[in-house]
Amino acid sequence: MLFQNLGLGIISSVLIFPVTIYIIRWYSKRKNFPSNQLWDTSFKTAIKSSLIWLIMNIFIAILFSFLIEDIAIYFLIHVSVCLICNIIVGIIIVQNFYRKRIRESFNFVFIIQLFLFGVSFLFGFIFAIVDGLIFPQISNALFFILEFGLRYTLFITVLSLFFGFVLGLTLAIMRVYGGKELYWLGSAYEKIFRGIPLLVLIFIFAFGFPGLFWYLKPFDRLLASVILALGIRSGAYQSQIFRGAILSINPGQMEAAQSLGMNKIQSFRHIVLPQALRIAIPSWSNEFAVVIKDSSFAGAIGTFEMTFAAYIWGFRSVELFTLSMGVVAVLYFLFTFPVTHVLGERQTRNLKKLGMGGS
Amino acid sequence: MIFQANAFQELLAVLDYWDRLLSGFILTMWMYIWALLFGFILGLFLAILRVYGGFAFSKISSGYIEIIRGTPLLAQLFFIFFLPYTLNISPNIMVLETSFYLFNKEITLKLLDYPIFVGIFALILNSGAYQAEYIRGAIVSVGTGQLEAAQSIGMSRLSSIRHIVLPQALRRVIPAWSNEAAYLPKYTVLVYFIGGVEELFSQADFVQHKTFFPLTTYIVVALMFLITITLISKFLEFIHTRTSIPGL
Amino acid sequence: MGEQLLRIIDVWKSYENLQVLKGVSLDLAERDVKVIFGPSGSGKSTLLRCINMLNPPDKGEIYLRGNNITTPKVNLNVLRTRIGMVFQHFNLFAHLKAIDNVSIGLRRVKKFSKQEAHEKALEALNRVKLVEWADHYPAQLSGGQQQRVGIARALAMEPDVILFDEPTSALDPELIGEVLQVMLDLAKAGTTMLVVTHEMGFARAVASEMIFIDKGIIIERGTPNHFSVSPESDRVKLFLTQLDVLYGSHKKLLNDTEEEEKI
């Protein structure tokens, strides 16, 4: 029991990272620290490296969730790996930016990371103890849900998003640069798959085409059909996002690229696409949140994922049900909130600074 | 496959249950309208609170919005459904039923009972949060200048919000709101998970179990949703162009 | 007829139902600088876009170094490496630093190695006097600086001719001078330039010929001297007076340059 709660403490410490960064940043701004280059840019470096760390966090989470069964060991190793990677990445970033002031900036980054980790670990530990002694059910529910469903939720989300990304980008290109027929085709696709409830789509693929994915095990077939349905639907929404982003780029950019002698493909790939992708990030982070929440429907057809796990766990008694639903809701929230906020508002501000916030 | 039938025969078999599909559709629309309307009221309230409420209220409002938007509708639905039982309150909702005859078939509609109420309630809370975001965006886009101008001719804050900012904001929100309004019917299918609600999707489940034609059944239902949503969308576009003011 | 670098013969162009260019003809020799001016909507920008085939003409022919570039067989991308363009709104690539803006054409189109492209880009930036700003993003540069990067970008490709589409029209008055200075330096160094602009002072300083276009037709052409002393058509006279009223302020800079030239 203590071990499990230790793990829980580590979870919360890991998730507290972005929050503490925000607090420190806000605090230093309020105190009006002298904005000589060292402070300001070191801060940005620390934040950038933490952001990269967050992304790596997600990848490592997915990777390890498939390799390691015991949830507590999983999180222990997870956190250690992340911390080490973070420091390494931070050092690399700092070395690339400040060739002269390496040692100072490195010390600064290191101290910040240590400080943040210490604060969050302390916080997490206290929480774990309180929880272990006072609310054991929460941690039980939490561990069951995570152990049972996290890997599937992440798997479904990532694959569907990727599928939707490829599909959406292709459709967007079709609609913007294709002829009338391709435009109409992309448009029809979008209208159809935005107008059908996701659940209906899942059921169509899962039960309507029993022969689909014949080469997979029966359980995996359900998973695959969910991913297919989610991917197709996400593709429809993402095509809208990318189309808007591409259109918002000044046509003058394309002209300038062509006047250098680039053909249409080159100008798109090197000039329009990089800018369009950056512009699309805030809306895309929203789509990420939507997909991860919609993965909760997968449980409807019997694939395990977090909500379904919560459902099973809570089924034993009614009081437990509300509790487990609350817990899983918090889990989803922890996944969506940092992403949409970090990639949403801050990115819009950064874009404006680069002068790329739309035409 | 127990026996092979061509597509047309499958379609006929499914459509044989048209009374079920119709009652499901009516219930879906019924839930949708209530959720939309009250969701709008809630959203308006939340948006005004968020923009004009002062530090505490705006934080509460934005907290609510973030939580609702950051958690799956399904989890919210389950949470609300079992909440009374957790608190040891036995939910007693007045049951509302009606029935009518159409083409020699009796169609019964259960319009209100506990699961339906929970479904509508959860949708109101959820849609309200999303609508609040759209309305908030529209209010912000009106700009502070309007409020300042209104106050400088002596209007109270409440009055200027009501007579100057809101009319403009509500016109500006129409495109985004139409989006939400058109796609809300899709989310009513989630009540399938709490059982006992016979809206369109649950009826589809029933029908496909009877006919053994899942693909056709679900495609029919998908088309029904698609057509409904497209019609709502076109209708809203029509209203938008009819009531537009140059410059807004 | 090989001595003419660029020959534009009887070009017609229409958009939708509007006839924008009605039979425009023009010649440009090597190291020559010519200025096109006229009221807005007269087709000046369209003409430039016809030359580098961004919007090909409906009728007429254009010859670059004796080769007809309006025939369908021409590889447009290769063609455009020989014709440079500087835009009114700069059109710098917002996601690339200044140095990368200049070098990307060299790397992706002319297939230079990263090292070579970088060096050539630095040379170009040096000519427009912006080497210290090489690592800055366009958003961090002033309008005048951005336009100069645009000029460097065109220069780096070492084209036969550079087209300027109202290069200073989108600039604040105090920034126009620095761009004009760069253009003057280019002209003196022997770059072949075809410039659409209202900057009469620039024209008087370096142009061999000025061409007035209105509503798609060349109304009058002649040396800068001709236009300052005795323009013939009434439309030209009206236009020149309007310009005088509007741009009186920084003519002094160009007048000084003019004096310099005469000496």
- Phi, psi of B152, rounded to the nearest 5 degrees: -75, -15
Q: Mean pLDDT over residues A6-19, rounded?
A: 50
Residue with tokens 């200048």, as numbered in its chain: B145
Listed residue (C139, C140, C189, C186) closest to C167, CA to CA: C186
> Above 90 in pLDDT, residue C194?
yes
Rounded CA gap, A14 and A8, in Å?
A: 10
Structure confidence by residue, pLDDT tens digits, A234-293? 999 999 999 989 998 888 888 999 988 888 888 888 999 988 888 888 888 889 988 989
Instruction: Check if B201 contacts A (Cβ < 8 Å).
Output: yes
> Above 90 in pLDDT, residue A230?
yes
Residue with tokens 């061409």, as numbered in its chain: C211
Residue with tokens 């402070």, as numbered in its chain: A39
- Phi, psi of B111, rounded to the nearest 5 degrees: -95, -20
Q: What share of chain C in percent tops pLDDT 90? A: 34
Res A33: pLDDT: 45
Q: 3-state DSSP: chain A helix, strand, coil percent, rounded to 5?
A: 85, 0, 15
Cβ neighbours of C4 (radius 10 Å): 16
Res B187: pLDDT: 92
Rounded CA gap, C108 and C105, in Å?
A: 5
Q: Mean pLDDT over residues A70-79, rounded?
A: 59
C88, C165 contact by CB (below 8 A): yes
Identify which has the larger pLDDT, A98 or A46: A46
Rounded CA gap, A15 and A12, in Å?
A: 5
Structure confidence by residue, pLDDT tens digits, A173-198? 988 888 888 899 989 999 999 989 99
Q: Please, which residues have CB within 8 angstroms of residue A32's CB and are 6 or more apart in sequence?
A: none
Length of chain C: 263
Q: Please, which residues have CB within 8 angstroms of residue C182's CB and are 6 or more apart in sequence?
A: C127, C128, C129, C148, C151
Res A107: pLDDT: 56
Listed residue (C139, B7, B3, B9) closest to A357, CA to CA: C139
- Phi, psi of A28, rounded to the nearest 5 degrees: -65, -30
Structure confidence by residue, pLDDT tens digits, C60-111? 889 988 888 888 888 888 888 889 999 988 888 888 889 998 998 888 888 8
Res C241: pLDDT: 79
Q: B215 and A328: CB-CB below 8 Å?
A: no
pTM: 0.74
C83 contact residues in A (CB cutoff 8 A): 259
ipTM surpasses cut 0.90: no
Rg over alpha carbons for chain B, rounded to the nearest Å, is 22
Q: Taking an 8 Å Cβ-Cβ cutoff, which residues of chain A contact chain B?
A: 191-192, 194-201, 203-204, 207-209, 289, 293-294, 296-297, 300, 307, 310-311, 314, 318-319, 321-323, 325-326, 328-330, 332-333, 336-337, 340
Rounded CA gap, B20 and B13, in Å?
A: 13
> Above 70 in pLDDT, residue A139?
no
Rounded CA gap, A318 and B194, in Å?
A: 14
A241 vs chain B: nearest CA distance in angstroms? 14
Helix count and strand count (H, E) for chain B: 11, 2
Rounded CA gap, C147 and C83, in Å?
A: 17
3-state class of C28 per DSSP?
strand
Res A359: pLDDT: 30
Q: Mean pLDDT over residues C17-31, rounded?
A: 89
Res A354: pLDDT: 61
Of A67-81, A99-113, B112-126, C137-151, the range with the lowest mean pLDDT is A99-113
Q: Mean pLDDT over residues A23-44, rounded?
A: 48
For chain B, which ranges sit under pLDDT 70?
1-5, 245-248
Q: What share of chain C in percent tops pLDDT 70? A: 92
**Which pair of tokens denotes residue B134?**
């759209």
Interface A–B counts its CB contacts (< 8 A) at: 112
Listed residue (B125, B163, B127, B129) closest to B49, CA to CA: B129
Categorize the per-residue pLDDT at C182 as very low, low, confident or very high, splitting at 50, 70 and 90. very high
Rounded CA gap, C90 and C144, in Å?
A: 9
Res C259: pLDDT: 63
Burial class of residue B158 (count of CB atoms within 10 Å of its CB; 0-12, 13-18, 19+): exposed
Q: Do chains B and C meet with 3 or more Cβ pairs nearer than 8 Å?
A: no
